[in-house]
Structure formats: C-alpha cells, structure tokens
Chains A and B, each alone.
Chain A
Amino acid sequence: MKVFRQLAIIFGVLFVGHLLQHIIGLPIPATIIGMVILLICLVTGIIKVEMIEDVSEFLLDHITFFFIPSAVGIISSLEYVKDDWLPIIIVIVLSTIIVIGVTGLTVQVLKRLQRGDGRDG
C-alpha cells in the first residue's frame, strides 16, 4: 500500500489546490496552488519528504514522458499554422535562447554583486 499511500498524499494536496482555486477564484491553476501548499507542508513538517519520496521520484523521473501526448496534440493546431510554421519555430527558438541566456546571466551577475567579489562559485 506504500505507493497508494504516497499517491493519496500527493492527490490530497492537488485536491486542496483545486478547492482553493474554486473558492478564491484565482486565475492560478490548481497545480501551482498545490506546489505552494506542498512546499508549506514540507517546510512546516506537516508532510515529511519520506512520506512521498518514492512516488515523487517516479513522477519526476518520467515527467518528460508525461508531456508526450500534449506534444502530439500539436497535430490539432496544424490548421492555424499552415503558412506560418517556420516563423513560429524561429520565434520560439530565438526567444527561448534569449530568455535562458538573459535569465542565467542576470542571476549569476546578481549573485556575484551580492557577495561583493568577482569569482565564480
């Protein structure tokens, strides 16, 4: 029952996220509210990492796989991008490079400034 017990905790967190989303009417999805709830529970010790460790590891190891059907869903939006697929891909590639580069550099530079030295680390 260990796997089901761990799953139940994770689903429980998701379900509370779902309830809160409806009650508060936030434009934030249940999964993100669930992340915040789980983090609070872990920090306060209400949930111990060991209580969800095995199932978490399984889910995180396979997160790429869980994305496959959504990616296959690209099929159903082909009609919108008939003539524009190339510029769309170029925009996505360029912008993704810019975002990852700019964000990484920003954090790296700010961390150095905070420490007040010029070394890596």
Chain B
Amino acid sequence: MAKYLNTPIFGILISILAFEIGLFINRKTKIAIFNPMLISVTLIISFLLYFDIDYEIYEKGGSIITFFLGPATVVLVVPLYRQIKKLKKSGIPILIGIFVGSFTAIVSTYFLSKLFGLEENIVLSLVPRSVTAAISIEVSKEIGGIPSLTVAATTLTGIVGSILGPYVYKVFRVKDETAQGIGLGSGAHALGTAKAMELGETQGGMGSLSISVAGIITVFLAPWLMKLFN
C-alpha cells in the first residue's frame, strides 16, 4: 500500500478530508469534546495505524501543511495591531498577567508531573508545553527534555485549552474580554488564540500578544526555574 501513497498528495488529502469530517461532526453535534482538531487527528492516527502506514509517508504532505504555521504565527500580529489602543490602556495588567501565566504554567506542570511520579526527562519535556511549538521545542532541548514529546504535549495543551477555556471562564467568572484573550493565549498558545478569535476581536488580539510575550518570557524563565528546582 505504501508505494501508492508515497506522494505529498496523500498527507495533504487525508488531512483535509479528516478535518472536513471533524468540522461536520462538530457542527452537527455542537459538543465541545467533538472538537474538529481532536476528531481529525484521531481519524488520521487510526488510519495510519490500521493500514500500517509509516508516519514519514504521511509527513511528506504533512510537512507542507506545517510549513504554513510559520507565516500564520507571524500574522497573528494583525489582530493584535487592531487592538493596540487597549494594549496601551491596560499595559501593566496585561504584562503582569502574561508573566503570571507563564510562571504558573511552568511551576504547575513541574510539580503536578512530580506528584504523579513521572520520570525526569518526561517532566522536563512537559514543562515548556504552554508556549508555541517553535519555542517549546527549543526550551525542551535546553532543559533536557525530549523534543518530539514536547511537540506532542504542546499540541495537546492547545487542544485542551481551546476546548476547556470557555468553561474555565464560566466557572472562574472571567468576563473581561482582555483577560479572556490573555488567559487563552498564555495557557494554550496559537490554538487557544484561535478559540479566542471565535470569542471576539479583543480576545483574539490579546491572545496573539500573549503568544509572543509568553514565549519570550518562557525562554528565559524555564531554564532558570529548572536550575532552581534541582
């Protein structure tokens, strides 16, 4: 089977089809856990495992899709630019909020992982998971994690954050639009920000600001905190 699929078209086609199915099921059921991303990824993984197709064959097309993450992350600045007045008005609460978010992410991940008795290299792979994959992978290498596991944990964080974020805000009564965006962007990077954009323009802009600021904070904070804890 593999020799028929050994073309980038396979990975791209199956990704589009799986995402369409995911969107369709999500629209029909309107259940948050039936997230389009979660459905499509489960479908693709099941397909690859069932037909025993190497990830490398899927990745020929997959890497072409992943390529667009770079430019897509850069233009996250556009919704931020549209909200620049709000940023000027609430600059201090926003910056403190993103710092608190990055700090909480590293510390809570570290101690929860220890509590569950995870091995050191797995703990260190999870620590940078709340910032965008481009950064978390570099931080993971620096502190001694397993980069591919970090990418998986980062993606899972984004999916979990975008599904649970709105419920967390209901429970904690976070109604402020700026606060909602900062929380989703700091806690669940670009996937959280995609959800923030659904909530509103302010949320989207603040989410994208958090991605870059939280990313930069984590680059410096994570290695320093890991030294402190050991």
Q: Which of B39-85 contact A (CB under 8 A)?
A: 40-41, 44-45, 48-49, 55, 58-59, 61-63, 65-66, 68-82, 84
Q: Are A31 and B134 in contact (CB under 8 A)?
A: yes
**A92 interface contact, C-beta 8 A:** yes
* Chain B residues in 8 Å Cβ range of A42: 77-78, 81
Q: In the complex, how many angstroms separate the beta carbon of B44 from the nearest chain A beta carbon? A: 5
Residues in B whose Cβ lies below 8 Å from that of A56: 75, 78
A47 to B44, CA, bound (A): 39
Which B residues are CB-close (under 8 A) to A93? Answer: 160, 164
Question: Are the C-beta atoms of A77 and B149 separated by less than 8 Å?
Answer: yes
Which residues, 116 to 135 on B, are CB-close (under 8 Å) to A? Answer: 116-119, 122, 125-126, 129-130, 132-135
Q: How many residues of A contact B (CB 8 A)?
A: 72
B225 within 8 A of A: no
Evaluate contact between A60 and B118: CB separation under 8 angstroms: no
A4 is an interface residue with CB less than 8 A from chain B? no
Is the CB of A3 closer than 8 A to any CB of chain B?
no
Q: Is A98 an interface residue (CB 8 A)?
A: yes
A70-121 residues with Cβ-Cβ distance < 8 A to B are: 70-77, 80-81, 84, 87-108, 110-111, 114, 120-121
Contact B138–A100 (Cβ < 8 Å): no
For the complex, what is the distance from the CA of A27 to the CA of B160, rounded to whole Å?
27
Given contacts A103-B186, A105-B179, contact A88 B153 (CB under 8 A): yes
Q: How far is the CA of A49 from the CA of B100 in the complex (A)?
A: 31
Contacts of A20 in B (CB 8 A): none
The distance from the CB of A18 to the nearest CB of chain B, in whole angstroms, is 9
Partner of B219, one of A28, A38, A75, A90: A28
Q: Tell me, in angstroms, the Cα distance from A73 to B98 when the chains sit together.
A: 28
> How many residues of B are counted as interface, with CB atoms below 8 angstroms from the partner's CB atoms?
112
Contact call B55/A75, Cβ cutoff below 8 A = yes
Given contacts A100-B188, A108-B174, contact A80 B159 (CB under 8 A): no
Contact B75 A77 (CB under 8 A): no
Residues of A within 8 A of B (CB): 7, 10-11, 13-14, 17, 27-32, 34-36, 38-39, 42-43, 49, 52-53, 55-56, 59-60, 62-77, 80-81, 84, 87-108, 110-111, 114, 120-121
Contacts A75-B55, A92-B157 supplied; 9 other A-B pairs, CB < 8 Å: A77-B152, A91-B126, A93-B160, A95-B108, A100-B188, A101-B172, A104-B97, A107-B183, A111-B93
Q: Which residues of B contact A (CB under 8 A)?
A: 11, 15-16, 18-19, 36-37, 40-41, 44-45, 48-49, 55, 58-59, 61-63, 65-66, 68-82, 84, 90, 92-94, 96-98, 100-101, 104-105, 108-109, 112-113, 116-119, 122, 125-126, 129-130, 132-135, 138, 142, 146, 148-149, 151-162, 164-165, 168-169, 171-172, 174-176, 178-180, 182-184, 186-188, 190-194, 197, 208, 211-212, 215-216, 219
26 contacts between A and B (CB under 8 A): A28-B215, A31-B132, A49-B81, A52-B78, A63-B73, A66-B66, A69-B58, A69-B63, A71-B156, A72-B62, A75-B45, A87-B113, A91-B109, A92-B157, A95-B130, A96-B130, A99-B186, A102-B101, A103-B186, A104-B97, A105-B174, A107-B178, A110-B92, A111-B90, A111-B176, A120-B175
